[in-house]
Structure 1
């Protein structure tokens, strides 16, 4: 018997991509509200409480409201793609590679990771756990994304009539909403200095953590960092670690195909004083919708890669 899934906010960018990934899946039956009913609180409440799974693709306030609509006695299990519950008590962080697949499998409430934090945490969290990187270091994260991650308003700014934006940097108040998520789930002592930017490509993301490793007390070498990441993600079909990086550039393509995988790179200079940790992913894939489907698969007891686009 198919699991019923209600995507609350299915008309948004993330919701549409999740629907697309589930469209031909006979393991799931989508609960769909027409345009007249999808903003009706009574219809939403019914769908939220009667479905096996609810995936919330909503602004933070609306996601909190949706969770409050779910009766404690309901069987519904929740995946929240908003920022609202990523460091909240009672929620499991939906990064199976980091928190463990058993934790996701048994959880009722799962918070989907943010797109930028997915790249940062994939690089840093395993290395802090392994003692290769210090928890008390003042980390910096530079990142660039396609504009689809900003939702309909930002898409219109980049695609609308007369649009001429070539580059957008933001978060200039140094209080980006991803800060707590990155600190908590990497096990850090300090908030990350985060510098996000957007370019005129629909999808794609490069997340970089530059490191002065020679100034660290344990003086880790880039090769040791790469080896630790290779060991941590061994066997993963979703997160791949590049071996012996010699690339001279990493690119975001304007017309990239959707992808639910992520590739990690470790670059080091001769002598090992500096290192650049870099994650390349699709902000709508492993950074959003693909991660939600991965979590849904695990929670439903299915192979985690089912229906994902891994290239």
Structure 2
């Protein structure tokens, strides 16, 4: 049985970093393992979709590492890399009115959906494994199944897998269970794809009074800790609001956003455009929280 693999690069990397703690991958062995988990006999093709800066020669070191990683991936048997230009949009802060830049990657999603469905319609494969848990792909999996193909979704311990896409898939494959089969030594290009190092276990911290508000002080302490964990202190705004794990912060992104807006308006936190163009946050120079590891 022929199996096709489709990687949503950003989604795949995000789950790998969060759940697998950035453990190293042999992509050829990963492909072989996924084919077997989908009850297949051989790989039809592995398609890796992501976005890059338009002129990679003049961009950040992170983007150049991404380019090197993609070049390496294309040399792997059966792998095909599909890249798209990153689209930049602007967002205005509701509190201060400042304009900030962020990245849109919708073309990646739509191109991937068209490719998956087209190959199914032309009987190119018998089963597909989608390495993304984004609910936007659920209609595509439903269409593929209606064409008589099996559609699996693969993730790192279920990280980022929506209920809708889980229901649309024939089954779920947990890649954490296969790490012992496809883990390998790290190459220089696989350190970073989107500009983050792997997250380490959070340390316990004492919250010092900076603003006089416990929720704001906790946010500052955790953000300071996150900056110390990631390469160059780069903490993605969306990542910190939705995925940063902490017993000191509310788990609801909307509540975290409300606290962030207060800190932005009072100048304790600032937003900026990271080297890869994504919107990031950091503790402002206005303060230096006294945070102690215990």
Both structures adopt the same fold (TM-score exceeding 0.5):
no
Q: Which has the higher contact order (CA 8 A, sep 6+)?
A: 2
Largest Rg, 1 or 2: 2
